[in-house]
Structure 1
Amino acid sequence: MLVNILINTCFYLPGPEIKVTEGSDVTLPCNIAGNIESKRFMWKKDGQKEVYVFDSGLYSGQSLTGQSDQFKGRVSHFSGELKNGNASIKIRNTKVTGLRVPHGLS
C-alpha cells in the first residue's frame, strides 16, 4: 500500500508596517533561505483573499486560478530572484485596503 504524505510549512511573517501612497507601486519583501523555484508560496490578505500564488513555475495570472479580483493583473513576483529565496511581490496601483499578509511555503 502506498501512502502519499504532503508536508506544508506555513508561517506568518509580521514585518514592519509599509506605508504607500494610493495609486503607487509597492514591493512587499519576503526572503526565504535557499532556492524556491520548485516550491509553492502564497500571499493572502486577511488570511482569506488570495493575493498571489507561485507554485513550481506556475503563478497567479498565468496558469493558476483563484486570485481575488481586487488583485488580478496588478501583482507579480521577481522570477530572476527565486533561486536566491526571494518570495517578494510587487503590487501595482495600490488601493486603500490595510493589507496584512501571511506567507506559506511548501
Structure 2
Amino acid sequence: MFPLMNELFLQSSFRPLSVLVFHLLLTHSQSQSQLIGPSQPIVATVGDDVILPCHLDPAEDVGTMILEWTRPDLKPIYVHMRRAGQDLVDKHPSYIGRTSLFINELKHGNISLKLSKVKLSDGGTYHCFIPKLDKRSSVELVVASGAASSPVISLSGTDSNRGAVVLECESKGWYPEPEVLWLDGEGNLLSAGPTETVRGPDDLYTVSSRVTVEKRHSNSFTCRVQQNKTNQTRETEIRIPGRNYMFLQF
C-alpha cells in the first residue's frame, strides 16, 4: 500500500512541475523568436502589386493569432487586421480591397502583406505586429512614379566675353524628389547652380538646373537626373561643336 501511495504522491508532485517546465520552455521559446522584415526599403512603381515581407523566426503557426499591419502616420493606423482566423475590414479607407495575407503561409509564421495597385500615397513605414508574442517589425515602402521624363536641355544664354554658354536642364514626372547632376565629356561633375524644384497637384516633381560651361571644358555635356532610393536615372547629352549643338537622349 505504501509503495502505491508513494507513487501517487510522486505523480501528483511531478505533474505541476512538468506543467511549469512546459510553460517556462514555451515562454523562453517565444522570447527568443523574432519578427523579421527586410533590411532595405522595398521599392515599387505606381500601379504595381508589391509584397511587404515579414516572418516569424523560428517559424510558428500564427493562423489563429491576432495579426496587425499598421502605418503610424495614418489615422486610423490599421492597414490590415486578422483576428480569430478572419480578415477584418475595419481599417484605413485607402487600403480597403487592396491588402491580403498568404493564408497557407501563416502556419509557417509568414505574415507578409500583399499590397495591390500601389499608389504614391502608399509610401511610408509599415509595422507588422503579433500582440500575443509582443513581436514587431517594420518595412519601408518607397513608391516611384514610373512617369519620369528624359531631361530636356536648352541653351539659356551666352557670355561672349568668357566664351561661355549657359545650359538649362528640365525633367518632369518624378517621385520621390530626385537630384540633378551635370557632367563633362569625361564624366567629371560640373559646378552648377541650385536645383529648382516644383511639386505639382499630382504630387509629381519637376526639377530644373542651370550650368555655365566655358571653352576650357569639353564640347560634350550631360544632364543626369537620378533618384537613388528607387534606382531611377534619366540623362540627356548635349554636344556643342562651335556654334552648333545637338541632343542625344538616353
Band of TM-score, shorter chain: 0.7 to 0.9
Q: Are 2:122 and 1:101 aligned?
A: no
Counting only pairs closer than 5 Å after superposition, residues 32-71 of structure 1 correspond to structure 2 as 32=56, 33-46=59-72, 48=74, 49-59=77-87, 64-71=88-95
Normalised by the size of structure 2, how large is the TM-score?
0.34
What letter is aligned with 2:84?
S
Query: Comparing both structures, which one devotes a greater share of its residues to strand?
Result: 2
SS in 1 for 2:45: coil
SS in 1 for 2:107: helix
Q: Which has the higher contact order (CA 8 A, sep 6+)?
A: 1
How much is the aligned-residue C-alpha RMSD, in angstroms?
2.2
Please, which moves more after superposition, 67-76 or 42-51? 42-51
Count of matched residue pairs? 93
SS in 1 for 2:125: coil
SS in 2 for 1:82: helix
Query: Comparing both structures, which one devotes a greater share of its residues to helix?
Result: 2
**1:58-83 deviation per Cα after TM superposition (whole angstroms, max 9, x unaligned):** 11xxxx24210000000000001110
SS in 1 for 2:70: strand
Task: Say if 1:27 and 1:90, in contact at 8 Å, map to a contact too.
Answer: yes
**1:14-53 deviation per Cα after TM superposition (whole angstroms, max 9, x unaligned):** 7420110011000001101300011111111126421101
Task: Supply the distance in 2 between the matched residues of 1:47 and 1:40 (Cα, whole angstroms).
Answer: 21
Alignment gaps of 5+ in structure 1: 1-8
Q: Which residue of 2 aligns with 1:76?
A: 100
Normalised by the size of structure 1, how large is the TM-score?
0.77
Alignment gaps of 5+ in structure 2: 1-30, 133-250
